[in-house]
Amino acid sequence: MFANEKYKIVPVLNTADYNAGVSADSINMAKAHRAIFILTFGAITGDAVLTVNSGATAAALTSALTFKYAIGGAAIGTTLSDVLAAGTEAATLTLVAATYANKMLVIEINADAMDTANNENWLTLALSAAADAGVCHAVALVEPRYSDNTTLV
């Protein structure tokens, strides 16, 4: 199966209205090379700010990290929705409602970006409170350092 040895599929955010802000489930990156997050948005009526953070424990948002991202070219389910724009690097990303509504966003972070000097092995996505509402769902593809079908992240 696809996820047995090369990648681990980790659901990190159930479909959620992030009006009040929300953090995804954390991933322990101590045994991983990288994580690729796939976020899908529904209706969005307010802008929010997305950050990728490391912390010494799950849910800790201690150090903001620089990450790479790309957005789908059109609304999900239409032609070109799977064609990603050129990748961009950022420390924060403002999710402008008019740009991100009903689209897919892909975020990639390498483990070497983690603040391991402070034992920050936990990786967490966070969405700030939006002016009105926004709906998001996210999964991560994690590339483990040691591939086998029992490795958990």
What does the block give as tokens for 125?
Answer: 């996505």
List the chain pLDDT tens, one digit each, 153 residues: 455 568 899 999 998 778 888 999 999 999 999 999 999 999 888 899 999 999 999 999 999 999 999 999 999 999 999 999 999 999 999 999 999 999 999 999 999 999 877 888 999 999 998 767 788 999 999 999 876 655 555
**How far apart are alpha carbons 114 and 124 in whole angstroms?**
11
- What domains are there in the chain, each with its CATH number? 8-144 (2.60.120)
Q: What is the pTM (predicted TM-score) of this model?
A: 0.90
| CA distances, 49 to each of 37, 42, 79, 96 (Å) | 16, 16, 27, 9
